[in-house]
Amino acid sequence: MEITAALVKELRQKTGAGLMDCKKALKETSGNVEEASDYLRKSGILKAAKRAGRATGEGVVASYVHSGAKLAVLVEVNCETDFVARTDKFQDFTKDVAMHIAAQSPLVVSREELSEENLTREKAIYREQAIASGKPENIVDKIVDGRVEKYYSEVCLLDQAFVKDGDITVADLLNQTIAILGENIRIRRFVRMNLGE
């Protein structure tokens, strides 16, 4: 199948990916825009992994103030260059992350930021609940592991389902943005303020 300029343009508008990346994805998927979009998402994760070690000394502090001005979020998002920090795609990403934090109220950016003490306490609670419900001892550990994963998806920003698209996590959104912009990006920290708290 011939890859037309219209197909490439459609895929670029849908994904925000570069011209050559869109053309390659369409060739790989015989011109199917949906499959090409998935192909770009998968290759984006690989590209993001390659860039993970690069220093991120630039970026922005984005804000979100909920209507009524009773809830606000500040989030610091870093990238490699000031040029990327000023792009619309990067700015949109930071705004989406700030809005997500306001809506979902995570406690930390990543799993690594949770204290071992906190995790030990959660695991003990889950173990007691499983035993109290009469579950056999041989599956209690699997139940605890499953509940810990659910806990991560509730309190860790990168593990949460993205509020604007429940099919992806915030980490997926981050990796897609890294793939599109071609630089390492890191959500460094955030603060969520609720009036009266």
Structural domains in the chain plus CATH codes: 5-51 (1.10.8.10), 58-109+156-194 (3.30.479.20), 115-154 (1.10.286)
Q: Nearest-CA neighbor of 22 among 146, 185, 180, 190? A: 180
Check residue 3 and give its pLDDT: 82
Task: Read off the pLDDT of residues 111-123 as tens digits, 9 standing for 90 and up.
Answer: 899 888 888 898 8
Check residue 190 and give its pLDDT: 95
The backbone torsions φ and ψ at residue 90, rounded to the nearest 5 degrees and listed phi first, read -65, -45
Average pLDDT estimate for 134-139: 82
The model carries a pTM of 0.69
Check residue 71 and give its pLDDT: 93
Query: Alpha-carbon distance 74 to 97, whole Å?
Result: 10
Query: Alpha-carbon distance 182 to 61, whole Å?
Result: 20
Task: Read off the pLDDT of residues 18-62 as tens digits, 9 standing for 90 and up.
Answer: 667 778 888 888 888 888 878 877 766 555 555 556 666 788 999
> Residue with structure tokens 């003490």?
117
Check residue 73 and give its pLDDT: 95
Check residue 44 and give its pLDDT: 64
Query: Alpha-carbon distance 169 to 175, whole Å?
Result: 10
Query: Alpha-carbon distance 134 to 19, whole Å?
Result: 57
Q: Which residues pair with 73 in a beta bridge?
A: 64, 192
